[in-house]
Amino acid sequence: MQSFEQEIKHFLRSQQLDFTDNSESFKRLDFTVKLAGDWKFHFDAKEKRQRYNLQSWQLLPDQEHHAFIMDDLAARKILAYAPYSGMVVRDNLLGGYYFFSVLDLFLMPKIRVNRPIHKEQPGWKGKWIVDLRNGRKCGTMAEVLAQFSHFIEKREDFFLHILECYGVYQGESIGQRGEVRRPEHWDVDVKETR
């Protein structure tokens, strides 16, 4: 099977899109693609290539199908390229692509763990266990590209206009708390903070 990075390069060339390939860098996101309107979107390409050891990762069998394990460092790199950044995961086992915007990665529920490593000396590597269903599933790379454009087109809504909690994520239930806010409350807030 062709690597996901090679698939992306082939796809972007076939679409005659201007892109930067940083896939050999450890400090940059894998790709930057230029979209309509001279917008640029930065993303990392990841693959789920095998099933995870249930005991090692403390996963239940029904969790493993949807689990993806990524580096904490990769998530921080995506945040460094915000707001127009994210991650695309190709699931080689069950098929499909999953797009996670920086906003999804920041807000969705996740399990963070330190995995023991031993190079020159013992240490730790931060890992996230995420649910692939919290990304936007796409059947083709063309659909992934459309997700990049949609994210940029809706950026003001996503970042500035939506007042309620953003996103509907697996493993999370958003309840209600607090008193009902009325216009007079905002008047007081403005007077006391300006």
Q: What's the pLDDT tens digit per position in 46-86? A: 999 999 999 999 999 999 999 999 999 999 999 999 999 99
Q: Measured between alpha carbons, how far is 15 from 7 in angstroms, rounded to an integer? A: 12
Q: In what order do the strands lie in the sheet with 136-138?
A: 19-21, 31-34, 40-48, 85-91, 97-101, 136-138
Site of tokens 């708390």 = 177
For the chain, which ranges sit under pLDDT 70?
A: 185-186, 188, 190
Quote the pLDDT of residue 1. Answer: 85
pLDDT of residue 179: 83
CATH class of 4-173: alpha beta
* Per-state percent for the chain, helix, strand, coil, to nearest 5: 35, 30, 35
Domain ranges of the chain: 4-173
pLDDT of residue 178: 82
